[in-house]
Structure 1
């Protein structure tokens, strides 16, 4: 079953709480929170205080994507702030196994992300320890970018390896997801889709999410 994780990066930050409440009421499965440090990616977004405030107001499963250089340093504060799942990049500077263990030690689910230039095989050594793998279908750092079709082959490769091992690992895709690109990802094996402007920018978020789900059937 396809799960939708609308990215709050595309929300109206002047009405962040209200916007997130609206998409959850419209049927979102979780909220995707993009954390950028201006070093690992060329943009700065938000941090622990925003997540903590949002989690107090809006009941949701918080899918937190750490696009930061040293994610290991921030596991405890983000989990304490309300993260349910923490994703970090394999290309970041923190040791992968140690970071996964730190996330689990805080009671959160762990996910590993790969940029467009990173081959899918890079995550294979860690699959057994992960709840999810995130495949970037755009260069991380900014919303509203065009979907990169090469992500589809990566999704298929990771799903095939997970199935070979008997794993039911979630595979998430982030970047340029809408009713046209979502079915390509779903057919390849993705089951969690991050949609930003396609949901938060829609006049009717419920209809937008229904269209994405219907396209994946």
Structure 2
């Protein structure tokens, strides 16, 4: 299974209504929504009021990524929006099991997020508790960064672990995902590809439909 997600933070923020319509027409399957607190990462994005309005205006399920300290506080803040997924960074949590269960208690699917420099061992004990893991291929915080090729080894390690599980979580990747990096990720067991400025929200010719269809063609080669 291969899923295309769009990083809505990278869209035209002054024309979100139109952007959402275009993403729906392109059959985007998830909206990846970055929430940043200015502490865990040196940037700020996206508030609950904005995500509430996005949820009201689209049928595309939300995939909220908490790049924050104290994820438990932000889970309470954003879970009422009823996204499909909420991910939090294991590096930022002081009680991973508690935060996983808190997300589940809200009726939302929990996801474990891991930064490029963090080892797989941090998430390994909890893999049976979640339906998906988010492996960052750039440092969280800013769009437009270079792809971290060292993460490929980590993804291979993770895929080898998951292959031994009866019910394996999906693997999501975020950070400079495009026509050059997707082929490198396909044989690492990656399922969900978050598209941002390098592949979707850029000035290249073509509609969102055209851009996404070209990338989906990579899945069947």
Same fold (TM over 0.5): yes
Q: Is the 8 A contact 2:63 2:85 kept in 1?
A: yes
Identify the residue that residue 97 of structure 2 maps to in structure 1. Answer: 97
Backbone CA RMSD of aligned residues:
1.2
Name the SS of the counterpart of 2:148 in structure 1.
coil
More helix as a share of residues: 1
TM-score (norm 1): 0.96
Which residue in the other structure is 1:12 paired with? Answer: 12
Alignment partner, residue 52 of structure 2:
52
What count of residue pairs does the alignment treat as equivalent? Answer: 217
What's the CA shift string for 1:141-164, capped at 9, x where partnerless?
A: 001111111122212211221121
Alignment counterpart, residue 209 of structure 1, candidates 199, 207, 212: 212
Q: Deviations along 1:65-84, whole A, 9 cap, x unmatched?
A: 00010111122331212321
Shift of 1:121: 2.2
For residues 40-78 of structure 1, the C-alpha deviation after alignment (integer angstroms, 9 at most, x for no partner) is 000001111111011011111101100010111122331
Q: Which residue number corresponds to residue 124 of structure 2?
A: 124
Which ranges of structure 2 fall in alignment gaps of 5 or more residues?
A: none
Which digits, 9 at most, give the CA deviation of each residue in 1:155-185, with x for residues without a partner? 2211221121222311000001001101211
* SS of corresponding position for 1:17: helix
More displaced 10-residue stretch of structure 1: 44-53 or 193-202 = 193-202
User: Which residue of structure 2 aligns with residue 181 of structure 1?
Assistant: 181
SS at match of 1:200: coil
Structure 2 matches for 1:193-208, cutoff 5 A?
Answer: 193-197=193-197, 198-201=199-202, 202=204, 203-208=206-211
Contact preservation (8 Å) 1:134, 1:172:
yes
8 Å contact from structure 2 (residues 93, 99) kept in 1: no
- How far 1:128 moved relative to its partner? 0.3
Q: Which residue of 2 aligns with 1:29?
A: 29
How high is the TM-score relative to the length of structure 2? 0.94
Contact 1:23 1:200 in 2 (8 A): no
Which whole-Å CA distance do the structure 2 matches of 1:89 and 1:171 have between them? 15
